[in-house]
Structure 1
Amino acid sequence: MADHGIKGKTVLIAGGAKNLGGLLAKDLAAQGAKAVAIHYNSAATKAEAEQTVAAVKAAGAQASAFQADLTSAAAMEKLFADAKAAMGAIDIAVNTVGKVLKKPMVEISEAEFDEMSAVNSKTAFFFLKEAGKHVSDNGKVCTLVTSLLGAFTPFYASYAGTKAPVEHYTRAASKEFGARGISVTAIGPGPMDTPFFYPAEGADAVAYHKTAAALSPFSKTGLTDIQDIVPWVRFLVTDGWWMTGQTILVNGGYTTK
C-alpha cells in the first residue's frame, strides 16, 4: 500500500508566501513534511516569502523560495524543474494562485479579461500539466478555486468564470494521472478574511458576506478563515487521497452546488 502520510514528503506551493499559501506551508512543515518549495509572484512579496521560508525551517523542514510570474508556460516549467532540483522530488503540489475582479461585465476591458484568464485559468492549466509530468507516483495535487462557482450572482463573471474551467481541468487530470496513483482535487473557499478580499468589496458587500454563510455567527469575522481551509487541504493531500476529480466548496454554508 502507498504511504499517504505527510511525514517525509516534499511539497510545492504556488502562491505560498503569505495568507492561505503561507499558512499551508507552515502547517505541512509542522505535520512532518521533509521540504517545502514556496513560490511567490514578485518582489513585492519577497520579504513575506522569506519569512515563510524561515518559519518552515523553524518547524524542522527544508525550505526554498522561488519567484516567478506563472502566467507563462515556460515560467511554470522552470518552477517545477527548480523545485524538483531543490527537493529531489515533488510529492505534493498545491496551487493557491488567483486574482479577483468585481466589476459589471459591460465595464470589463479586454485587457482585464485577458489578465484574469491568464492568472486564474491558464496558470491552473499549466500547473496541472507540470504536476502531471513531475509529481511522484501516488502524489497529490490540489488547486484553490472559489465558492462563487456555486453562486448565482452579478459582478464576478471574470473571476468565477475564469476559475470555472479548473473544475474540468481537475476532472481530466484525475483521469489522466490516476494510473500513477495521483489524486487531483480543487477546493473552493468562501469569501476569505485576507487582504485580497476587502479591496474588491464595498462596505455594504463586506457586511453582506459577513452574514451570508450558515455558520457566519460562529466565525470570528463572519467570513471564511484561512485556518478553516488548511485542514481540508491537508486531508486531501494525505489520508483523503481517495477523493479525486472533485471540486469541494468549503464555506460554512455560503453556497452549494
Structure 2
Amino acid sequence: MTQQTQKVALVTGASGGIGAETAKRLARDGFTVIVNYAGNAAPAEATVREIEAAGGKAITAQADVSDPAAVRRLFDHAEAAFGGVDVLVNNAGIMKLASLADTDDALFDQTIAVNLKGVFNTLREASRRLRDGGRIINISSSVVGLLPVNYGVYAATKAAVETMSAILTKELRGRGITVNAIAPGPTATKLFLDGKPAEVVERLSKAAPLERLGQPEDIASTIAFLAGPDGAWVNGQTLRVNGGII
C-alpha cells in the first residue's frame, strides 16, 4: 500500500460528479474517504459501496456545508470515526445562472450560502482541526477568468474562494499544510449539463483547444496529484484545469 494508507480525506458534495470521482480516486490511492452529501443519501451510499467493492474504505456523512454547526459535526464525526482529517476537498457547490439584473435575492443568498459561506465554514474548521502536513483543495471555476454573461454571482463566489485559498496558505504557515484551488473548465457533470440546450453543450465542448468537455476523472486526477506526495511543493496556487481555454 502507499504511504497514504492511514490518511483520511473528507470530500464535500461527493455524491455525484466531480466529488464522487474524487472520492473513488482518493480511495484507490489509499485514503480512507468521508463521502459528504447534503440531502440525498442514496447516491452517496452507492459511491461508498463502489469504493468498498474495489477494496477501499469509505463512509457517508450528511451535512449542509452552509450550516456552521453541521460542519462542526462533520469534523466531529470524522474525528470520532478515524481520529482526524488529513485532506479536505471543498467540492460542494451550486450553479444557478442569471444576469445580474434578473438575479433575485433568493438566488443570490443561496449561491453565497453554499459556494462562499459553505467553503468558509469548512476552511475555518479545517484551519483549527486538520492534521499537520495536510492538504486543502478548493474547487473554483475557470469562469473567474472567462467572465461569461449570466455567471456574475457564481463567478464572484469562486473568485472569493480563490482569494481565501491564497490567504489561508499564509495563515497556516509552519504546519506543513498546503492550500490550493482547482478551476475546472466545462466539465460533463449534471451540474454543468442541466438546463443547457444541446447546441450550447456542443459549442462549449469545442471551446478548448483539446475540443472536448472535461470529464470528472480529469478533475479528480488533478485533485489526487495535489493530495498526494507529488503535490507537496505546490502551495497557494489556482490550477486552471480546462483543456487550454484562455
Alignment TM-score, normalising by the size of structure 2:
0.94
Partner of 1:237: 227
Partner of 2:41: 46
Task: Give the CA deviation at 1:204.
Answer: 3.5
Kindly indicate whether residue 192 of structure 2 is the aligned counterpart of residue 197 of structure 1: yes
Partner of 1:36: 33
Q: 2:136 touches 2:179 (CA, 8 Å); kept in 1?
A: yes
Query: Aligned residues: percent identity?
Result: 37
Question: For the residues of structure 2 that align with 1:237 and 1:61, how far apart are their CA atoms?
Answer: 17
Task: Give the CA deviation at 1:60.
Answer: 2.8
Question: For the residues of structure 1 that align with 2:79 and 2:179, how far apart are their CA atoms?
Answer: 19
Of 179-188 and 58-67, deviating more is 58-67
Paired residue secondary structure (1:98): coil
Kindly indicate whether residue 210 of structure 2 is the aligned counterpart of residue 253 of structure 1: no
Residue type of the alignment partner of 1:136: R
- In structure 2, do the counterparts of structure 1 residues 67 and 214 end up closer, same or farther at CA, with 3 Å as the change threshold? same
Task: Give the CA deviation at 1:61.
Answer: 3.1
Task: Give the CA deviation at 1:8.
Answer: 2.3
Once the two structures are superposed, the pairs formed by residues 204-219 of structure 1 within 5 Å of their partners are 204-216=199-211
**Any gaps of 5 or more consecutive residues in structure 1?**
217-221
2:12 to 14, 26, 51: 14
Task: Give the CA deviation at 1:5.
Answer: 4.7
Paired residue secondary structure (1:243): coil
Question: For the residues of structure 1 that align with 2:75 and 2:7, how far apart are their CA atoms?
Answer: 16
Task: Give the CA deviation at 1:126.
Answer: 1.2
Question: For the residues of structure 1 that align with 2:132 and 2:205, how far apart are their CA atoms?
Answer: 41
Q: 2:147 touches 2:155 (CA, 8 Å); kept in 1?
A: no
Once the two structures are superposed, the pairs formed by residues 62-81 of structure 1 within 5 Å of their partners are 62-81=57-76
Kindly indicate whether residue 78 of structure 2 is the aligned counterpart of residue 88 of structure 1: no
**CA offsets per residue over residues 140-172 of structure 1, 9 Å max, x none?**
110111110111321100111111101111011
Runs of 4+ in 1 over 3 A off after TM superposition: none
Paired residue secondary structure (2:95): coil
Partner of 1:219: none
Task: Give the CA deviation at 1:202.
Answer: 3.0
Paired residue secondary structure (2:65): coil
Residue type of the alignment partner of 1:161: A
Task: Quote the RMSD (CA, aligned, Å).
Answer: 1.5
**Any gaps of 5 or more consecutive residues in structure 2?**
none
Kindly indicate whether residue 213 of structure 2 is the aligned counterpart of residue 223 of structure 1: yes
Q: 2:27 touches 2:58 (CA, 8 Å); kept in 1?
A: no
Residue type of the alignment partner of 2:171: E
Kindly indicate whether residue 21 of structure 2 is the aligned counterpart of residue 23 of structure 1: yes
**CA offsets per residue over residues 27-48 of structure 1, 9 Å max, x none?**
1111212x21110010xx3111
Question: For the residues of structure 1 that align with 2:19 and 2:216, how far apart are their CA atoms?
Answer: 9
Question: For the residues of structure 2 that align with 1:57 and 1:86, how far apart are their CA atoms?
Answer: 16
Equivalenced residues, count: 244
Once the two structures are superposed, the pairs formed by residues 52-131 of structure 1 within 5 Å of their partners are 52-131=47-126
Task: Give the CA deviation at 1:9.
Answer: 1.2
Q: 1:102 touches 1:201 (CA, 8 Å); kept in 2?
A: no
Q: 1:13 touches 1:95 (CA, 8 Å); kept in 2?
A: yes
Task: Give the CA deviation at 1:201.
Answer: 2.3
Question: For the residues of structure 2 that align with 1:48 and 1:62, how far apart are their CA atoms?
Answer: 16
Once the two structures are superposed, the pairs formed by residues 136-151 of structure 1 within 5 Å of their partners are 136-151=131-146
